[in-house]
Amino acid sequence: KQEVTQIPAALSVPEGENLVLNCSFTDSAIYNLQWFRQDPGKGLTSLLLIQSSQREQTSGRLNASLDKSSGRSTLYIAASQPGDSATYLCAVRTESGGSYIPTFGRGTSLIVHP
C-alpha cells in the first residue's frame, strides 16, 4: 500500500525567502506525482505534475523535482510572497488494477509573513 509523507507539517517564513517542501512515498512504482495548493475551505488547485520518466518541472517561481528511486519529491518556491500562504499537498499516482488512484500526503501548511 502506497504511503505518502510530507515534511515539514508546518512552516512560517518571512517574505522573500526561498523554501523547500518535501514529499516522500514508499512504493517507487509510480506513474506520476502531482503538487497541489489548497486555500482554507477550498478545493485543491493543481500546481505541477511530474511524470515518472521526468526529473523536474517548472512553473514560474515553482520548481518540482522527482527522484523516483529514492521515493522523494521536493517543491521549491523561490522568493516567497504572502500570497503563497496555503497548504501544499503532494499526490502520488500508482497503478492498481488499471485504476491509478492518487494517494495524498497530509500536506505542509505554509505561512509567509510580510
Query: What gap in Å lies between CA 108 and CA 51, rounded to an integer?
Result: 22
Contact between 102 and other proteins by CB under 8 A: the answer reads yes
Query: What gap in Å lies between CA 9 and CA 79, rounded to an integer?
Result: 20
Contact between 89 and other proteins by CB under 8 A: the answer reads yes
Q: Which of residues 40-59 bind other proteins (CB under 8 A)?
A: 41-46, 49, 51
Residue (43 or 60) nearer to other proteins, CB: 43
| Amino acid found at 46 | S
**Cα-flanking dihedrals φ and ψ of residue 110, to 5°?**
-110, 130
Query: What gap in Å lies between CA 68 and CA 55, rounded to an integer?
Result: 8
Taking the C-alpha atoms of 94, 100, 101 and 104 in order, what is their torsion angle to the nearest 10 degrees? 40
Query: What's the closest the beta carbon of residue 69 comes to other proteins, in angstroms?
Result: 19
Residue (65 or 79) nearer to other proteins, CB: 65
Contact between 28 and other proteins by CB under 8 A: the answer reads no
Query: What's the closest the beta carbon of residue 45 comes to other proteins, in angstroms?
Result: 7
**Positions in the binding site for other proteins (CB under 8 A):** 4, 6, 31-32, 34, 36, 41-46, 49, 51, 89, 91, 93, 95-107
